Structures are given as structure tokens and as C-alpha cells.
Chains A and B, each alone.
Chain A
Amino acid sequence: MTIEQTQQQIIDEFSMFDDWMDKYNFLIEMGKDCPLIETQYKTNNYLINGCQSRVWLHASYDGKQISFSADSDAVITKGIVNLLIRVFNDHTPEEILASDTAFLDKIGLKEHLSPTRSNGLLSMVKQMKLYAQVYQLKSIQQSHD
């Protein structure tokens, strides 16, 4: 599935809920499916510090695609983290860099990406793109070697 297809799938899933409590319940459930970061990476080096909830993020690259794993101490944050992972996981650096996160607006979660929420999610999106940028540079370098 392309990034846009996954985003559309998430928008469709959320369209079933007309109530905030159902949305949050869904996010809590989604948090449980989050590909968990390995304990060795759950350190300050991988910590994305928000003011309130903490998020740890790790990325690996197989030369073609990036896969992410993460964790958070807040379960709703973890659900949103997993939404982002679902969208970006197993895509090339180019695909990740070319995409946006406008879908969060369509499912009513845009506020969670505002800097005032200080939950680390905005930094997380930046960090995912940064990983993509680094891996893109790496693969360009390797192709020149």
C-alpha cells in the first residue's frame, strides 16, 4: 500500500466514530499493536522529549525501506505514534520525505501535532523525516562508492 492509501484507510476507520470516547478507545487499542522498540534502544538517545508524554523512536534501514519501532509512556500518545508508524513503515526514504501528515487533520487529531500540545508528536514526525533524510543521503553516498 502507498502512504496515501494507508492514510485513506485510517481516515475510513475513523469515519465510523462520531464520538470522541470511541476515537480514544480506538487509539488506545491501536497503541497495543505498536511495533515496540527493543529495550536496548529505550534510552535517552532515542527519547523524543515532549513536555508531558515521552516517546522513544528507533528506525532501521535495509537499503531500500525504513522500518520504525517506538514506545510511549502515555497510551493515547502511543496510539497516535502507531498511526504514524503504520503510515510510514516499510517505505523508501523518498516516499517518506514526499509525504505529509494532513490526514491527522481529517481524523480530528491535528491538535495533537500542534507545538502547544507538547506531547512530542510534532518532534516525532520531524524525527521520522530526519531518519528518512539520513538514510537517503547514505544510499546516495553508497551508490557513488
Chain B
Amino acid sequence: MENSKRFDIQNIRSQFPALHQQVYNKPLVYLDNAATTQKPQIVIDRLKTWYEMENSNIHRGVHYLSQQGTVAFESARKTVSTFLNTKFTHEIIFTKGTTDSINLLASSLGKLLVNEGDAVLVSGMEHHSNFVPWQQLCIERKANFLVVGITGTGEIDIEQYKLLLEKRPKIISIAHISNVLGIINPIEEMIRLAHNYDIPVVIDGAQSVCHQKIDVQQLDCDFFAFSGHKMYAPMGVGVLYGKEKWLNAMPPYQFGGEMVSQVSRQETTFNELPFKFEAGTPNIGAVLGLETAIQFIESVGIEQIAVHEEKLIRYALKKLQEIDRLRFIGNALKQASVISFLIGDIHPYDLGMIIDKLGIAIRTGHHCAQPVMEYFGIHGTMRVSFAMYNTFEEIDTFVAAVKKAALMLE
């Protein structure tokens, strides 16, 4: 029984070496997980074994290591495919990360669908990586860049979204969970509404994939992008899931080795999916590390992780409310893993610097989402974000540090 598995926080923490260190002679409290998570030993070991024993180039060699490497790489693709419940394994494209996945789409899907006078729709709470590529595509194609607004509580304005759908955008790209506000967007409803007009929907899953079960067939999204490094995997690897029909119709993004089938002086025919979109040698070690990270998440249980993180966020919201003049930025009912806040007139940078010296790692600033800051009329926030290994004691330490810093800065 998946749900009866015991969530043993000490056992989990013991597997993350980076958590057991002191910074400025204080135990590290790592609450910047939305930026990147720490890595479990098993993932670090997977990378090490790849480079120590297995290193080879894949998909082309006749020799032993190359064949073993190819089998391992394709088995990782299968693991990702099962993790997301895709219909076909070849719907998984390995990329460098979410940003790379979205740039691939803006270029390739953009070429396929967006012409002069057309429109692309995103939201005002997007990370720059799901905003700027589409904006630049629209500038290049002389298309309209539509941005659906957000409400005072930080939720996507669904009524405005419905109105913008009337303009028949060619592509819609939306974050599953906001990296600034932690708000879970109603993507099921948004996808359903878009599909009434046959508009493909891209989901930026960078902040959701390690916090809740993702089933792309159930969501019925056309694309889903995420990064490995925000889900306990190595840096430099990400995934783009796309429905087969779209991936087949899309032109290649980059050209080179691996992605071709026949090359002559006059023309080139391209390889089939998924290789058509994987030009050049991939980051094989990191892909294998991603597979190990997924297996690690599954061994803990994604439902258990979600329950634990939900408890953490409720506890942190309650504790932070004790602080005078503290206000949350974005305060919706459906919130996951991220809290953004401000205290009176205190500059986030000042507070971040002080609690850093108390051993606490948080993020301050605009979090690469300046359009969100514009909505709230602010320059930045303080952001805490949780992972499976965070504890209630860490939240106590963090809140005490914030109180101390706030006193100094008043």
C-alpha cells in the first residue's frame, strides 16, 4: 500500500549530504528549493558510476560500453514516461532544462503555428523563461503577445482568460505552479477551455513536478516541461513531454548528429521521434541521474511528499503570521511549496543578508518574474520554498531568524 508507507524524515535527511553542514558556524537551513533542490547520495553516486565505469557515446557504437549506455539511456526515457504516464515513450524529449524545453517549443511549435497577426497567450505570473521566449517569438513573427492578468490574491483571472480565448491564440503557455506565489493554477479547467478551440496548451511544470503526481494524459496538456535539478536530479537535464501528433508535425529545433536519418549534399531527412529533437550528444550522466532521482522520489512516495510539504507550508504560514507587519504576497487557497512575503518597509535584500549569516538560505528579489512584481507594485519579495527533507524545527529556526532580522531593520 503506497499510502501506508512511513514517512521517515530523519532517514530522508540522512541521504542528503549537503544538508549536514554548517555555514557561518550555524547549521544550514536550506529553504531555497524552488531555485534548486539538494541531491541525495544515490543520485550523486549514479553520476559518479557513469563517469567511472560506463562513460561512452550512445546510439551509435558497436562496442560494449556504447550499447550498455544506450540501453541505460533509453531505460531512463521509459522511467520518465511512466512517471508522467505518457501514452508513448517517444513523447519524452531530453533537454537541458525547462528553459531549453520552452525555447525548443517557441522556436519549433512557433514555426509551425504562429504567423503574422496570430496570437500567443501566457499569464502575468510566468517565470521569465516561460514569458520572454514567447514574447520574442511574437515580435519576430509580428504576432500578438497576450498576457492574462492575475487577481489581488494572485490567481489567474479566469474570466479574462475566457475572453482572451475568443482571440483564438495559436499557443497557450502557463505555469502549473507559480515560482513566486506558490499558487496552483487551475490548469485542468484552462486546458479544457482551450481545447474547445483546439488550441494546444504548454504547461511549465518546473515547480510542480516534484510536489505532486503528474499524469499528462489525465491533464490532457499538449506539452509539459520541467527541469531535473529542481527535483533532486543533477543540473543540466530537463524534459519536454509533447503529444505525439504535435511532435511529429513540428520541424526540428537544432540540427546536427543523432537527429538525422539520411544526409546528402542536397538534402537531409530527419530521424524519427524522439531523436529528431535531440541533436548532438545528450547529457547522458545527468539523464541517468534523473532516472535515479525519479526512483528515489517514488521510493519515498510522491503522495507522502505532498502530504509532508502541505503540513510544512501550513505550519510556516501560521508561524509567519505571528510576525508584526508581515504580509503574504499572493494568498490563494491552493498553494504549494512556496511562500512569498514582505514585512513592513523592510527591503527583502536586507533581511535575506542578515538571515544568511544565521545559516538560513532563502531567495530574495524578483525571482525572474518581473511581470508578477508589476501586478503587486513591488520590487521583490522574500521567498521560502520547501522540499521533502525540510522539518518543522527548521521552520522554527527560520521564523526566529526573521524576527531577529526584522527587529534589527525596523
Contacting residue for A21 out of B347, B350, B380, B408, CB 8 A? B408
Check if A24 sits within 8 Å of B353, measured CB to CB.
yes
Q: Is A133 an interface residue (CB 8 A)?
A: no
Check if B24 sits within 8 Å of A52, measured CB to CB.
no
Q: Chain B's nearest CB lies how many Å from the CB of A140?
A: 39
Contacting residue for A75 out of B350, B366, B379, B404, CB 8 A? B350
Contacting residue for A53 out of B347, B357, B408, CB 8 A? B347
Residue of A nearest to B347 (CB): A74
Check if A25 sits within 8 Å of B408, measured CB to CB.
yes
Q: Is B365 an interface residue (CB 8 A)?
A: yes
Given contacts A20-B24, A25-B408, A76 and B349 within 8 Å (CB-CB): yes
1/0 per residue, CB under 8 A from A, across B284-308: the answer is 0000000000000000000000000
1/0 per residue, CB under 8 A from A, across B56-96: the answer is 00000000000000000000000000000000000000000
Residue of B nearest to A79 (CB): B350
Q: Chain A's nearest CB lies how many Å from the CB of B368?
A: 10
Please, how many angstroms separate the alpha-carbon atoms of A73 and B351 in the complex? 13
Q: Is B337 an interface residue (CB 8 A)?
A: no
Please, how many angstroms separate the alpha-carbon atoms of A21 and B350 in the complex? 12
Could you tell me which residues of chain B, from 358 to 410, have a CB within 8 Å of some CB in chain A? 364-366, 379-380, 404, 408-409
Chain B residues near A28: list those with CB within 8 A: 408-409
Chain A residues near B408: list those with CB within 8 A: 21, 24-25, 28
Q: Is B200 an interface residue (CB 8 A)?
A: no
Chain B residues near A82: list those with CB within 8 A: none
Q: Is A136 an interface residue (CB 8 A)?
A: no
Given contacts A51-B365, A74-B347, A119-B349, A24 and B379 within 8 Å (CB-CB): no
Q: Is B124 an interface residue (CB 8 A)?
A: no
Check if A76 sits within 8 Å of B350, measured CB to CB.
yes
Please, how many angstroms separate the alpha-carbon atoms of A24 and B357 in the complex? 10
Q: Chain B's nearest CB lies how many Å from the CB of A44?
A: 14
Could you tell me which residues of chain A, from 1 to 47, have a CB within 8 Å of some CB in chain B? 20-21, 24-25, 28
Please, how many angstroms separate the alpha-carbon atoms of A17 and B286 in the complex? 45
Given contacts A25-B408, A51-B365, A52-B365, A76 and B353 within 8 Å (CB-CB): yes
Check if A53 sits within 8 Å of B349, measured CB to CB.
yes
Q: Is B348 an interface residue (CB 8 A)?
A: yes
1/0 per residue, CB under 8 A from A, across B325-358: the answer is 0000000000000000000000111100110010
Chain B residues near A21: list those with CB within 8 A: 354, 357, 404, 408
Please, how many angstroms separate the alpha-carbon atoms of A21 and B379 in the complex? 25
Please, how many angstroms separate the alpha-carbon atoms of A24 and B351 in the complex? 11
Contacting residue for B409 out of A51, A54, A75, CB 8 A? A75
Please, how many angstroms separate the alpha-carbon atoms of A138 and B65 in the complex? 69
Q: Chain B's nearest CB lies how many Å from the CB of A112?
A: 9
Q: Chain A's nearest CB lies how many Å from the CB of B381?
A: 11
Check if A77 sits within 8 Å of B354, measured CB to CB.
no
Chain A residues near B364: list those with CB within 8 A: 52
Residue of B nearest to A20 (CB): B357
Residue of A nearest to B364 (CB): A52
Chain B residues near A75: list those with CB within 8 A: 347, 350, 409
Please, how many angstroms separate the alpha-carbon atoms of A114 and B353 in the complex? 14
Residue of B nearest to A50 (CB): B349
Please, how many angstroms separate the alpha-carbon atoms of A75 and B347 in the complex? 8
Please, how many angstroms separate the alpha-carbon atoms of A73 and B24 in the complex? 26
Q: Chain A's nearest CB lies how many Å from the CB of B26?
A: 10
Q: Chain A's nearest CB lies how many Å from the CB of B265?
A: 47
Please, how many angstroms separate the alpha-carbon atoms of A53 and B348 in the complex? 9
Check if B357 sits within 8 Å of A74, measured CB to CB.
no
Q: Chain A's nearest CB lies how many Å from the CB of B404?
A: 8
Chain B residues near A20: list those with CB within 8 A: 24, 357
Please, how many angstroms separate the alpha-carbon atoms of A73 and B379 in the complex? 10
Residue of B nearest to A24 (CB): B354
Chain B residues near A24: list those with CB within 8 A: 353-354, 357, 408
Q: Chain A's nearest CB lies how many Å from the CB of B362?
A: 13
Chain B residues near A74: list those with CB within 8 A: 347, 349-350
Q: Which 4 A-B pairs have the closest CB atoms?
A: A74-B347, A20-B357, A52-B349, A53-B349
- A sample of 14 inter-chain contacts (CB < 8 A) reads A20-B357, A21-B404, A24-B353, A24-B408, A25-B408, A28-B409, A51-B366, A52-B364, A53-B350, A75-B347, A75-B350, A75-B409, A76-B354, A77-B349
B residues near A (Cβ < 8 Å) are: 24, 347-350, 353-354, 357, 364-366, 379-380, 404, 408-409
Given contacts A21-B357, A53-B349, 7 further A-B contacts (CB under 8 A): A20-B357, A21-B354, A24-B354, A25-B408, A51-B366, A73-B347, A75-B350
